[in-house]
Amino acid sequence: MKFKLLAQSVLFGAGLLMVGLTPAQSQTREESQGMVLLRGLPTLDTDHSIAIVELDPESDQFGELLSEVEQPDIQHPLHHLYYSPNGRLYSTGLDPSCSLAEIGLSRDSSGTPVIEGFTCLDTQGQIVGEDIMWATSNGQEYMFVTFMGGTGGDDGGSVGVFDTQTNEVVKIIEARKSQVGEGEPYIMYPHGISAFDDRMVVTSTIHPDMTTGVGNVLTIIDLNTLEPIQNIVVENEKPLDFPSSPVEVLFARPDMHADIEPAILANTMFGFETWKIPYDADSKTFGEAEVIYSGVANETAVPLEFYGTEDELFISHGLPGVVKRYELAALPELVSSGPDIVADPGAHHMIFFTSASGRDLIAVQNNLLNLGNAADDDPTDVDFIADLNAHTITIHDLETGERIAEVNFKERYNKGVDNVEGLFGSGFVHHH
């Protein structure tokens, strides 16, 4: 989940609340600019790239790439963007040669943001980086990264613990199902990650090759020992006859909103469900997992991301391509706060910003993984996923959900769009 802090103290740079703008100030507003990871499409002979795109439909530059750095030497693209609490930009990556990278950003003498390039980091053999979060273990802050491929193998998967200053690996949290004892907690294909107090949760999603194996559990990690301590099964209906494949996870907690009772929320990619697992912070125990949203019953599939604003929680559903919205204060229950935001197939990541005139907007990136589109002869081995790639970012009125505009990256740039993040993310705290 990406949760916007309410605190005034962190609203400094992103400028989410733009009031009383002078024309000169309006020219330099940046919160409508998105940092995107673009994937070159093999049939269209384009390279993967990192870019900055203008997403305010009121801007003359709407849809333009303001800065772009291509990655011609990397077979698979970068995957997910995250800003550290100190404002450093990182990206996980799908290519074994670059599973984690730090991206250099600067400004030229006109103030224009510039992508300077990226540096692939040593992950000590961990591959297929997914999500990142910064959390504290025994008073020391670390960068935690899920690697869905781990150090390889049929039941691989690891959580890399990195030094926040040097980016060096401090520890690899790994527990292969084939190597731990019967009933002992394991980590396999981890993707989503979230934490509260001294408990971290990661999901068990799917082997990176999409065929070898699929997970159906959450793994709880004790942040005191940095060891897995419990698995929680989150599987009920099997509409695709696959294991449930929990993907993104959110540890709902009181510092998001004072009324929230702690609980884990988890979306299952192939079960189409959202699960709730209550947490008792005093006894440090988890209650029984239960389904609180059924995609089968509601005719939605592939629930993916959790995002938060001051008062709402948003969950994207890849099919039919909608973002559902809920009262933040009501968590961990899902109490609707309004009609669905109808985006495009593959509805996935999102950012929130205001237009030049002050209209609150949401931009939704609509590609599950951009593995290709069979109709266009793009390569894919999983037809179901191929249907989830609209290659667009759609922009909607945040209050009404009205669709205002879209940028179709395939039509305009011959590329897919894998991820979007606010240009200046230090006003956000990221918790997948």
Partner 1 sequence: MLRVFLTAAVAVVIAATAWVFWDRARGPTATPIAGFSAPFVFGRFAVPPDNPLTQEAFALGRHLFYDPSLSGNNQVSCATCHMQALAFTDGLAKSPALSGGELEFSSMSLINLLWGQERFFWDGRATSLEAQALMPIQHPDEMDQDLDALITELQASRDYRRMFRKAYGEVSAENVARALSTFMRMLISSDSKYDRFLRGEVRLTAQEEHGRKLFMAHPDTKVSLRGGNCIDCHSQFLTSGFRDALDGFSNNGLDSDDDLPDGLMAVTGNPAHKGFFKVPTLRNIAVTAPYMHDGRFETLEEVMDHYNDGIVVSDTLSPLILEADNAPEAGQGTVGLRMTPDEVQSIIAFLNTLTDEGFLTNTQFSNPFEGDG
Binding site for partner 1 (CB under 8 A): 7-10, 12-13, 15, 17-20, 24-25, 27-30, 86-88, 105-111, 113, 164-167, 255, 424, 426
Give whichever of 100 and 214 is closer to partner 1, judged by the CB atom: 100
Complex with partner 1: residue 114 or 180, whichever CB lies closer: 114
Measured from the CB atom, is 29 or 176 closer to partner 1? 29
Cβ at position 140, least distance to partner 1 in Å: 10
404 in helix, strand or coil? strand
Cα dihedral 244, 175, 193, 113, rounded to 10, equals -120
Give the shortest CB-345-to-partner 1 separation in angstroms. Answer: 34
Minimal distance, residue 53 CB to partner 1, in Å? 16
**Where are any strands of DSSP class E within 234-300?**
246-252, 263-268, 273-280, 285-286, 290-294
Considering beta carbons, is residue 177 or 253 the nearer one to partner 1?
A: 253
Nearer to partner 1 among residue 42 and residue 87 (C-beta): 87
Residue found by looking up tokens 């884990």 in the block: 264
Beta carbon nearer to partner 1, 104 or 239: 104
To partner 1, the closest distance from the beta carbon of 139 in angstroms equals: 10
Phi-psi region of 347 (alpha: psi -120 to 50; beta: other; left: phi over 0): beta
Q: How far is the CB of 14 from partner 1 (least distance, A)?
A: 9
Q: How far is the CB of 205 from partner 1 (least distance, A)?
A: 30
Residue 262: CB minimum distance to partner 1, A: 13
- Closer residue to partner 1 (CB): 17 or 44: 17
Min dist. Cβ of residue 26 to partner 1 (A):
10
Task: Give me the amino acid identity at 424.
Answer: F
Q: How far is the CB of 119 from partner 1 (least distance, A)?
A: 11
Which residue lies nearer to partner 1 by CB, 121 or 302?
121
Closest distance to partner 1 from the beta carbon of 120 (Å)? 15
Smallest gap from Cβ 70 to partner 1, in A, equals 20
Q: What is the 3-state secondary structure (H, E, C) of the chain?
A: CEEECCCHHHCCCCCCCCCCCCHHHHHCCCCCEEEEEEEECHHHCCCCEEEEEECCCCCCCCCCEEEEEECCCCCCCEEEEEECCCCCEEEEECCCCCCEEEEEEEECCCCCEEEEEEEECCCCCCEEEEEEEEEEECCEEEEEEEEEEECCCCCCCEEEEEECCCCCEEEEECCCCCCCCCCCCCCCCEEEEEEECCEEEEEECECCCCCCCECCEEEEEECCCCEEEEEEECCCCCCCCCCCCEEEEEEECCCCCCCCCCEEEEEECCCCEEEEEEEECCCCEECCCEEEEEHHHHCCEEEEEEEECCCEEEEEEEECCEEEEEEHHHCCCCCECCCCEECCCCEEEEEEEECCCCCEEEEEEEECCCCCCHHHCCCCCCHHHHCCEEEEEEEEECCCCCEEEEEEHHHHHCEEEEEEEECCHHHEEECC
- Shorter beta-carbon distance to partner 1: residue 103 or 250: 103
Tell me whether residue 255 or residue 402 sits nearer to partner 1 (CB atom).
255
Between 208 and 427, name the residue whose CB sits nearer to partner 1: 427
Distance CA 328, CA 256 (A): 8
